[in-house]
């Protein structure tokens, strides 16, 4: 899994295991939401939808994609600056 590899690289620079756990959860859930969306769109492709089916699809997209992604994006927005700072500090240490 890509998100696991990315977090494993971050763990080498950042000793905060709780933060790394949140990063993994956010990246994993965002990836899963994207896969869900692609699968949902593929399943609907080429099929005419009546009003009820269309409404159901749009509600699913709102709840399973938009709301879910918004939560994880907010979480990442708070945590990524800490990670970027730690990476920057490590780069500065490497240069000296």
List of residues 6+ apart from 16 with CB closer than 8 A:
82
Secondary structure letter of residue 96 according to DSSP: -
Please report, in tens digits, the pLDDT of each residue of the chain (96 residues total): 677 888 888 888 787 889 888 988 999 999 999 999 999 999 888 889 999 999 999 999 999 899 999 999 999 999 999 888 888 876 565 555
- 13 phi/psi in degrees, rounded to 5: -105, -20
**pLDDT (0 to 100) of residue 93:** 59
Q: Which residue has the tokens 């992604």?
A: 69
* Residue 64, number of CB atoms within 10 A of its CB: 15
């Amino acid at each position: 899994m890509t998100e696991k590899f990315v977090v494993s690289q971050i763990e080498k620079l950042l000793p905060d295991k709780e933060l790394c756990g949140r990063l993994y959860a956010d990246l994993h859930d965002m990836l899963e939401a994207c896969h869900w969306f692609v699968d949902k769109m593929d399943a609907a492709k080429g099929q005419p939808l009546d009003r009820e089916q269309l409404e159901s699809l749009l509600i699913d997209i709102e709840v399973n994609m938009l709301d879910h992604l918004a939560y994880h994006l907010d979480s990442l927005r708070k945590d990524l600056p800490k990670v970027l700072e730690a990476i920057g500090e490590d780069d500065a240490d490497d240069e000296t």
